[in-house]
């Protein structure tokens, strides 16, 4: 049975729960309304999280993994700012600041939501989100089923595996797939019965299959492989053997995307990746700096580097039509941050992976969390989802899950200590 909900969320919990709902809604609003300002809700959340981090640091202090991640984030940002100062490829402060926020937001929201959830003893925040997740999955599944037979404006023109890509109301099937997966992850914290969870699992898999997107399929593949590998094991650890098996399966699932994006040397994403390394080599060791290569701001202000590299003559990368200019996050990491900044960035990704990999509250929660995170990181090769509102949404949910797991461990250790003392 679903918990009886009463509106007793603290102001802090209410604000952070509100943004989790707002982030997917902002994607919907971008495509279906003229309310363009809502596109900045992830940046607004980032600023709130920065303020909260400063407050929390003074009040209780940030320790361990979170503190290390925060320090690395500051160092990576400073290195990139040095790139801006030395190279002077862009002098306007606004795009530099906005691009800085784009780097910071995915990590800072993870830290903050982890901290907030850790002190949400009764899991009120996630239990308020559970009914909304159920409603979302149910409606999207119904519409997805109807879309198989009738065009109701929720499918794209791209046909893969014999069906049109399905994106519900979001006009982007990859991002929709991540939203569905996160909604199902939230449901693991509800009081749903095993039969009800099975029904929602079937609906979630159905929705994700309809997207026909490699990023979404990677979630399913990782989930299936890890569930099989760890099916009879109490300790869920990555070994050389199961990591190799998982990598091979991911490669097979990504065959279409690899052929489309990486094997074609002249594809926009491959060009961006190749010139990302070229930019890193050109501006050793600090990179070209914020808002100069592969980012939203670099596209909006059309970086001088794009003119130097001849992008003005390339489809999807020119000033008239630059739809692909920010579609390779990995290229941006190397180009803007340089090799030193890129190494630090990958270490930061590792520090996000660590608490996810240490989840003990439930094997199913751990496997699904890992699946979503791995897919999000892999998507950075050919898309910019990770720095979008949905990328931030995913990091919020994963941070929240890790926070509840930390609280679970503390409660478990406290109970053991009480028994031992007794």
Whole-angstrom distance, CA of residue 63 vs CA of residue 75: 17
Give every CB contact of residue 35 below 8 A, 6+ residues apart in sequence: 29
pTM of the model: 0.91
Top-confidence residue, 370 or 264:
370
What is the structure's pLDDT at 3? 43
Instruction: Calculate Rg over the CA atoms of the chain.
Output: 22
In terms of average pLDDT, the best of 41-45, 52-56, 335-339 is: 335-339
What is the structure's pLDDT at 7? 46
Whole-angstrom distance, CA of residue 134 vs CA of residue 100: 35
Whole-angstrom distance, CA of residue 154 vs CA of residue 147: 7
Do β-strands 163-166 and 155-160 pair in parallel, antiparallel, or remain unpaired?
A: antiparallel
Q: Where are the domains of the chain?
A: 11-409
**Torsion angle, alpha carbons of 190, 62, 389, 75, to 10:** -150
DSSP state of 264: -
For 171-197, give one letter per residue: b (16+ CB within 10 A) or e. bbbbbbbbbbbbbbbbbbbbebeeeee
Mean pLDDT, rounded, for 105-112: 93
Please give the helix or strand (H or E) that residue 368 lies within, else none. helix 363-378
DSSP state of 38: G
Is residue 4 pLDDT above 50, yes or no? no
DSSP state of 35: -
Q: What is the pLDDT of residues 321-347, one digit of tens each?
A: 878 888 788 889 999 999 999 999 999
Q: What is the pLDDT of residues 267-295, one digit of tens each?
A: 788 888 899 999 999 998 899 999 999 88
- Which range among 34-38, 220-224, 330-334, 385-389 shows the weakest confidence by mean pLDDT? 34-38
Q: What are the distances in angstroms from CA 114 to CA 180, 347, 396, 405? A: 21, 19, 8, 9
DSSP labels, 79-108: HHHHHHHHH-S---HHHHHHHHHHHHHHHH
Which residue in 83, 88, 49, 98 sits closest to 69, CA to CA? 49
Whole-angstrom distance, CA of residue 364 vs CA of residue 361: 9
Is residue 259 pLDDT above 80, yes or no? no
Whole-angstrom distance, CA of residue 175 vs CA of residue 281: 32
Q: What are the distances in angstroms from CA 354 to CA 69, 370, 398, 399? A: 11, 10, 12, 12
Q: What percent of the chain has pLDDT over 70?
A: 93
Q: What is the pLDDT of residues 206-250, one digit of tens each?
A: 999 999 888 899 999 999 999 998 887 777 888 888 888 888 888
343 backbone dihedrals φ, ψ, rounded to 5° = -60, -45
Which residue in 400, 402, 405, 410 sits closest to 125, CA to CA? 400
Whole-angstrom distance, CA of residue 329 vs CA of residue 24: 20
Which residue in 341, 400, 339, 357 sits closest to 100, CA to CA? 341
Is residue 6 pLDDT above 50, yes or no? no
158 backbone dihedrals φ, ψ, rounded to 5° = -70, 125
Which residue in 321, 13, 21, 365 sits closest to 184, CA to CA? 365
- Length of the chain in terms of residues written: 422
């Amino acid at each position: 049975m679903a918990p009886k909900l009463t509106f007793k969320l603290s102001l802090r919990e209410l604000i952070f729960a509100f943004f989790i709902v707002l982030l997917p809604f902002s994607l919907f609003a971008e495509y279906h309304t003229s309310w363009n300002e809502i596109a900045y809700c992830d940046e607004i959340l980032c600023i709130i999280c920065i303020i909260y981090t400063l407050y929390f640091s003074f009040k209780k202090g940030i320790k361990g993994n979170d503190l290390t991640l925060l320090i690395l984030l500051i160092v990576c940002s400073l290195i990139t700012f040095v790139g801006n100062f030395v190279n002077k490829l862009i002098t306007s402060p606004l795009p530099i600041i906005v691009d800085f926020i784009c780097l910071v937001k995915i990590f800072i929201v993870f830290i903050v939501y982890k901290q907030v959830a850790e002190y949400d003893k009764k899991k009120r925040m996630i239990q308020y989100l559970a009914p909304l997740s159920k409603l979302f999955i149910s409606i999207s599944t119904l519409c997805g089923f109807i879309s198989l037979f009738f065009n109701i404006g929720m499918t794209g023109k791209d046909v893969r595996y014999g069906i049109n890509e399905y994106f519900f109301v979001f006009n982007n099937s990859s991002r929709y797939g991540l939203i569905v997966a996160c909604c199902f992850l939230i449901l693991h914290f509800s009081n749903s019965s095993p039969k009800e969870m099975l029904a929602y699992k079937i609906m979630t898999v159905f929705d994700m299959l309809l997207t026909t997107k490699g990023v979404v399929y990677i979630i399913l593949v990782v989930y299936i492989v890890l569930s099989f590998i760890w099916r009879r094991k109490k300790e869920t650890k990555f070994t050389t053997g199961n990591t190799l098996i998982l990598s091979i399966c991911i490669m097979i699932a990504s065959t279409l995307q690899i052929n489309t994006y990486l094997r074609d040397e002249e594809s926009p994403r491959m060009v961006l990746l190749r010139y990302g390394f070229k930019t890193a080599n050109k501006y050793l060791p600090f990179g070209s700096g914020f808002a100069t290569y592969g980012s939203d701001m670099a596209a909006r202000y059309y970086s001088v580097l794009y003119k130097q590299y001849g992008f003005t003559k390339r489809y999807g990368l020119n000033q008239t039509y630059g739809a692909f200019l920010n579609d390779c996050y990995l290229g941006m990491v190397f180009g803007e941050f340089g090799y030193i900044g890129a190494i630090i960035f990958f270490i930061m990704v590792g520090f996000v992976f660590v608490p996810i990999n240490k989840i003990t509250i439930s094997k199913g929660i751990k496997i699904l969390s890992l699946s979503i995170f791995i897919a999000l990181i892999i998507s950075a090769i050919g898309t910019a989802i990770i720095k979008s509102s949905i990328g931030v949404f995913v990091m919020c949910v994963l941070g929240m899950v890790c926070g509840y797991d930390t609280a679970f461990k503390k409660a478990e250790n406290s109970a053991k200590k009480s028994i031992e003392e007794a």
